[in-house]
Structures are given as structure tokens and as C-alpha cells.
């Protein structure tokens, strides 16, 4: 007979979901009210405003899509692309490849700009792609590649798109809340994120924001958006500026409570402080890992503080280490993805997971497991190195 499920208390230091604060879990389980309840409509307005702060934008069309980040991505593509369009897609990891899929499924063609995994997107290559395809209507790229732990220069890429009269679509799934996402300063046009990374909320909904230019393009469409569920003209009727909200779909009410609470926590801490915290913990983790003799897979200037790519030492069994961390320490770290599978681990320090306790715990658990597996690590120095980095 099946019975109730009581999950263990894991420490989530993979590529997301990250640890969810008890404050957020508490909000999640408050009594459900109707998705057209006047009090829920007020809450929606607060969520929009808190998301604007997090995205650093005045964009009116800023809201959470009622589905995970992959659907937030799809919402940006299906609303801005019409069949026959040309879209320049910069790929430097797994998620650029997913963008290509989205473009092609919209009946458009994807001009791929390929960069080495572990390196940022090259502005020069993107510029060359525009030179070759001046009629490209969109430039799409990933700000913080979850598969490689690399940050690209979103401001420069959005500026390039504007200069060429194109719109930009930016993936900030892993960046929002962890490093600066400056939608208005960048001049980005369609930006999507996730809740389960640096916002430390449960997975399942996806913040998005669209610039005035993007809204104009949506309103000028000749061809209906291929997804009814993600059609922003319909979604706006529910999330829009009118007090009278038109029913579109049933919003995930409790998930919106949770997002509201996590955004409040971010507001309370302050964006700057949150970013500084992510950097501090990152530097301490790296100091500890390097003291242990491990090496980072991304060069320092391109690293994301919230997602740390560690090279797996030769001879070490990738899966065995992760299984031992999970089973013996209830600690989850991430496997490598795509081209980096088996070669790297991804250690997340995202949102609520980015704290001193997790840094020290992870170093201690990893040292213990690697030692047991016979790996050649320097023992007994990682914790002190991390603590010194905090000082």
C-alpha cells in the first residue's frame, strides 16, 4: 500500500532546486483562495512590483508564467517569433541548444553562434552573425549558463541587438537574485527566469518581463501565437493593469504565495547585499576546494558565484562520489551536463543555499568522500582556507 511521502532534509547544492527557506515553505502552505479573489488580485500586483525590482525594470509586462523556467523560455520565443523569422542564437552550453529547438519549432530559422562550453558568448561572433544576416530579428543568449557556470556580457549583447534593430531574448534562469540582472540598463527585450535557483523558491513558475518594444511586436503580430497557454496577449488580460481580471487559466495560487515571500526576502536583504553574499560564499568555497587540491573548470573572470564548476580529478568515479554525498550526507551536488558530463561537478551556492554553513559542510563532506574513494586530496586544510577567505 502506498503511503504519505516524507522527504529527507537534503542540503541542495546542485544546479537547482536550491534550499527553500522555511519562510517560503510556510507561505506555500497557507490556505488556498480563488485565482480571481480580490485579495489574490492585490497579491498579484505586489508580485509584479517585486519582480520589477528584482529584474531592475519598469516594464509593465512583468509577471510569473504559471509553469517552470522551460515554459518561461518558450513564452518569450513563441510570443516574439513569427514563422519565417531569422533568430541569432548564441550557444555556449546546454541551454543555447534548447533555444535553437524553440526557434525551429516556431517555424523560424536559427543562426547558431557557437562558443566553447565553459567560455562566455563572444560578442564579436554575434556581431559577425548580424553582418551575415542583417535581417535577423532577434538575438537570443543565456546570461548565466547553468550547464557551465559561465556568465556572459548581457549588456554588450543587448546593445548589439538594439544597434542592429533586433530584439533580445535573455535567459536569466540562474542569474536572477544571484548576480545583477539589469533589464532596463541592458535594454533587454524579453527576459525569463526560474524560481528554484537564486530566488530560493519552489520550482514550478517562471518570472518573465517584456520591454515596450517587445510588447509592440507582440501586438503587431499577424500570426497567432502558437501556444494558447503562453499567449501573452491573453495572459495580460489576467495579469494586466485592469482591476477587472479576465479568467485565462487557473493560476498556481500557492506557488504565487511562495514566490511573493521569496521576493520579499530578497527585498528585505537588498539586491546588492544578496549579490555580495553570493560572492563571499563563492570565494570561500573556491579557496577551500583549491586548498584541497581540486581545480575549477571556468576561468575566474567568467565564473558565476552561484554555480561552481569543479573538474573531477582523474581516476575519481563521478557517480560514486555524488551517490555517497547524497546517501551519507544528504547532500546533493550536480553532475556535469551535456559535453561536460563525467568531467565536472556543479556545486550550487544559490539563494538560501548560499551560506557559510553550506560552504563548510560541503567542503567537509567532499573531503571525506574523496578520501574514502582514494582520491589524491590534501586533507585537513579546506575548512581553514575557506574561513580565511571569509575574513
Q: Contacts with its own copies in 23-62 (CB under 8 A)?
A: 23, 25-35, 37-40, 43, 46, 49-50
How many residues can be counted in the chain? Answer: 391
Segment contacting its own copies (CB under 8 A): 122-130, 254-262, 272-280, 282-290? 254-262
The least CB distance from residue 260 to its own copies, in Å, is 6
Q: Which of residues 104-163 bind its own copies (CB under 8 A)?
A: 104-106
Kindly tell me which residue out of 56, 109, 162, 227 binds its own copies, with binding defined by CB under 8 A: 227
Of 47 and 366, nearer to its own copies (C-beta) is 47
Secondary structure (3-state) at 256? helix
Kindly tell me which residue out of 109, 162, 267, 364 binds its own copies, with binding defined by CB under 8 A: 267
Residue 179 in contact with residue 149, Cβ under 8 Å? no
Any alpha helices (H) in the chain, and if so which ranges? 22-28, 38-55, 69-80, 94-105, 123-132, 154-163, 183-186, 212-219, 232-239, 253-269, 271-292, 318-329, 356-372, 382-390
The least CB distance from residue 111 to its own copies, in Å, is 18
Chain CA centroid to CA 169, Å: 14
Kindly tell me which residue out of 86, 151, 217, 260 binds its own copies, with binding defined by CB under 8 A: 260
Q: According to the binding rule CB under 8 A, does residue 233 interact with its own copies?
A: no
Grid cell digits, residue 101: 529547438
Kindly tell me which residue out of 57, 59, 62, 66 binds its own copies, with binding defined by CB under 8 A: 66
Kindly tell me which residue out of 60, 101, 182, 387 binds its own copies, with binding defined by CB under 8 A: 101
d(CA 296, CA 310): 5
Sheet with 86-91: list strands edge to edge. Answer: 61-65, 206-210, 190-192, 167-171, 138-142, 86-91, 109-114
d(CA 258, CA 200): 10
The least CB distance from residue 105 to its own copies, in Å, is 5
Binding residues with its own copies: total (CB under 8 A): 78
Segment contacting its own copies (CB under 8 A): 112-120, 162-170, 253-261, 284-292? 253-261
Q: According to the binding rule CB under 8 A, does residue 247 interact with its own copies?
A: yes
The least CB distance from residue 74 to its own copies, in Å, is 5
Of 12 and 190, nearer to its own copies (C-beta) is 12
Widest Cα–Cα separation across the chain: 65
d(CA 59, CA 209): 7
Site string for its own copies, 291-320 (x = CB under 8 A): ------------------------------
Residue 221 in contact with residue 82, Cβ under 8 Å? yes
Kindly tell me which residue out of 68, 155, 237, 313 binds its own copies, with binding defined by CB under 8 A: 68
Q: Which of 257, 220, 258 is nearest to 79 (CA)?
A: 220
d(CA 72, CA 201): 16
Q: Which of residues 321-380 bind its own copies (CB under 8 A)?
A: 326, 332, 337
Of 9 and 222, nearer to its own copies (C-beta) is 9
Site string for its own copies, 79-98 (x = CB under 8 A): -------------------x
Amino acid at each position: 500500500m502506498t503511503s504519505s511521502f516524507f522527504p529527507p532534509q537534503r542540503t541542495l547544492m546542485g544546479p537547482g532546486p536550491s534550499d527553500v527557506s522555511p519562510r517560503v515553505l510556510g507561505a506555500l502552505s497557507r490556505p488556498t483562495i480563488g485565482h480571481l479573489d480580490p485579495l489574490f488580485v492585490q497579491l498579484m500586483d505586489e508580485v509584479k512590483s517585486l519582480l520589477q525590482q528584482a529584474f531592475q525594470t519598469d516594464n509593465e509586462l512583468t509577471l510569473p508564467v504559471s509553469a517552470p523556467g522551460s515554459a518561461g523560455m518558450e513564452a518569450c520565443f513563441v510570443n516574439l517569433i513569427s514563422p519565417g523569422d531569422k533568430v541569432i542564437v548564441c550557444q555556449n552550453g546546454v541551454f543555447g541548444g534548447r533555444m535553437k529547438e524553440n526557434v525551429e519549432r516556431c517555424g523560424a530559422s536559427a543562426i547558431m553562434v557557437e562558443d566553447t562550453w565553459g567560455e562566455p558568448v563572444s560578442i564579436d561572433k554575434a556581431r559577425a552573425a548580424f553582418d551575415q544576416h542583417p535581417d535577423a530579428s532577434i538575438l537570443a543568449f543565456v546570461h548565466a549558463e547553468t550547464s557551465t557556470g559561465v556568465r556572459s556580457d548581457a549588456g554588450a549583447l543587448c546593445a548589439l541587438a538594439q544597434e542592429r534593430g533586433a530584439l533580445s531574448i535573455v535567459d536569466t534562469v540562474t542569474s536572477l537574485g544571484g548576480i545583477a540582472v539589469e533589464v532596463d540598463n541592458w535594454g533587454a527585450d524579453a527576459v525569463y527566469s526560474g524560481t528554484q535557483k537564486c530566488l530560493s523558491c519552489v520550482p514550478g513558475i517562471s518570472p518573465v518581463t517584456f520591454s515596450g518594444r517587445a510588447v509592440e511586436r507582440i501586438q503587431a503580430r499577424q500570426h497567432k501565437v502558437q501556444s494558447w497557454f503562453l499567449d501573452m496577449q491573453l495572459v495580460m488580460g489576467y495579469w494586466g493593469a485592469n482591476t477587472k481580471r479576465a479568467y485565462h487559466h487557473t493560476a498556481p495560487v500557492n506557488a504565487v504565495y511562495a514566490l511573493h515571500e521569496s521576493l520579499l526576502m530578497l527585498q528585505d536583504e537588498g539586491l546588492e547585499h544578496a549579490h555580495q553574499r553570493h560572492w563571499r560564499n563563492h570565494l570561500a568555497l573556491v579557496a577551500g576546494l583549491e586548498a584541497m587540491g581540486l581545480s575549477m573548470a571556468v576561468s575566474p573572470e567568467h565564473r558565476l558565484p552561484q554555480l561552481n564548476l569543479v573538474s573531477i580529478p582523474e581516476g575519481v568515479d563521478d557517480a560514486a562520489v555524488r551517490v555517497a554525498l547524497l546517501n551519507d550526507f544528504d547532500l546533493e551536488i550536480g553532475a556535469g551536463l551535456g559535453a561536460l558530463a563525467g568531467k565536472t561537478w556543479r556545486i550550487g551556492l544559490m539563494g538560501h543555499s548560499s551560506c557559510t554553513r553550506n560552504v563548510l559542510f560541503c567542503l567537509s563532506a567532499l573531503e571525506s568522500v574523496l578520501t574514502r574513494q582514494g582520491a589524491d586530496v590534501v586533507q585537513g586544510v579546506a575548512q581553514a582556507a575557506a574561513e580565511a577567505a571569509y575574513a
